[in-house]
Structure 1
């Protein structure tokens, strides 16, 4: 009689649909007898499973301990395969598993883009960078939605592919973000990043950051706040919101005009803290 394999769910189950019409579930687990690494888990033959079973699996939160009988545990490929002969136990005794592995999966450490490019494919990471090009949402094979954005950190740039629901995340050019839980992939010998179901994106504040450039356009003819201005630094355009709290020490009746801009980030909006004029000396 086969024994129960105890598992710790780390990465929640998601359903994958193939062009052939088949579907399967994928997640990430810790296996009791293999505490040195995490394993992928695949649940096949979803069409033969009852709806309440599928819902239980999809709703199972991270850090849940469960069990399975008659499963394939491949220690070389680091994967667990659940088939139609397997049996799932939703409640089993807890077991100890290295917390560092779990935490690094749920909240991967931040790496620079150069470090990402030097890392192996399939590694799960977090990155920070400035948003460059923002692509349109398009449908690719299988009807999946895809959008790509470019991130740069001053030294290197990399493409981030966003899938399905993550294509709806709002981005702005030159917005500084942190993308947590992305995975490294490689295409034509070029490293890139892809979103995972656990992707979390947040804006990184730029508090009182001084930039020297030119105001080239404003949205309000009489400069009634709030309004937006376009501030250009070395050819890069920033859309900045001017509020009642902004200190404006520049005459913007005639554009363009040079200035030194201090900003802060409020959610997805870059706000002007202070704008002072540069006096030409020649």
Structure 2
């Protein structure tokens, strides 16, 4: 497949995208030279980052299975990224075929490949939108078709909220989503933190700044990420390092201890 056959119109392949860079870190093939260059520079600044990406992806599978076990049958995956192995609908529908999933991403490459992946799956769809427009997302035709807001929803915001700067009021943004959710809904978050990192994280974020990507990291502390769960009750084991949230085996944990603590992970339930 040539690049030209899968690049959506209007995509500037000279500007890196963190969605495509993440795809590269996971071993995916839907990224450009500029994304791979940034990924290599980030990895050089912070060795083991690919493992952290894998640990986050493993968390996705665990949390979806957990939520299906709690009776959740519909999912809203905001900042879903480029499809790779173990997508939300694949995990959820393997557990319960009646599960419904709505993906949301603003990256046109992520959306285009999600659309291709979902052909023939009437219980899953994708919407191209910015997460900072919850009313547009929740009011979209696909949301109205797939999601019943009178029943519990699993809201997934994995590795996405650290792209939202404080001036965009992430706490207020989450409140707008929370208010639309029925009791019994859950919120799952993974979020980059500097709490347990050395200067290598600063060096990695500087790489992203120099790349001129529109996506910039806003690392937050344990207390700050905990506040993002306002209105939700954290389930055990609380807000912990991504590799420490209910690991099922060695594959869920990074061999580099620091990579298990680069990202906080937590799940909260709305009463």
Range into which the TM-score falls when normalised by the shorter chain: under 0.3
Task: From the two aligned structures, give the one with the greater helix fraction.
Answer: 2
TM-score for both structures, normalised by structure 2:
0.22
* Higher relative strand content: 1
- TM-score between both structures, scaled by the size of structure 1: 0.22
